[in-house]
Amino acid sequence: MKVEVIYALPHATERVELDLPEGGTVLQAVEASGLLQKHPEIDVKKNKFGIYAKLAKADAVLRDRDRVEIYRPLIADPKEVRKQRVAEGKVMKKGAGDEAGAAE
């Protein structure tokens, strides 16, 4: 069966097409792709995987023409980033209001 393995980097995307025997798993596809050797930062115990943007376990069985995706860890927690933006926005609005009041 034909599958592809994708690893997206900030400035490029690695894409490897390969043939696997029927019953091949996500982990077998990742190992066969050669991306583990090319990108030593990929840790099969820590990185998450997906099949067409849906999380999948390493032992998930693939079907013909599946796309396996290797996900990189998040740099920052999206919830924390959102909280920081809101806090900064409130501070900026307060400051802008004070300046506008002082100018009048």
Please provide the DSSP assignment of 40-57 as one string: TT--TTTSEEEETTEEE-
- pLDDT tens-digit profile, the chain (104 residues): 999 999 998 889 999 999 999 999 999 999 999 999 999 999 999 999 999 999 999 999 999 999 999 998 877 677 877 887 787 775 545 555 545 544 54
Calculate Rg over the CA atoms of the chain: 22
Residue 76 three-state SS: coil
Spatial neighbors of 62 by CB under 8 A, at least 6 apart, are 1, 3, 20, 24, 25, 26, 29, 51, 68
Distance between CA 55 and CA 16 in Å, rounded? 19
Residue 65 pLDDT: 97
Is residue 13 within 8 Å of 72, Cβ to Cβ?
A: no
Q: Residue 35: which of 18, 22, 51 has the closest Cα?
A: 18
pTM here? 0.70
Residue 80 pLDDT: 79
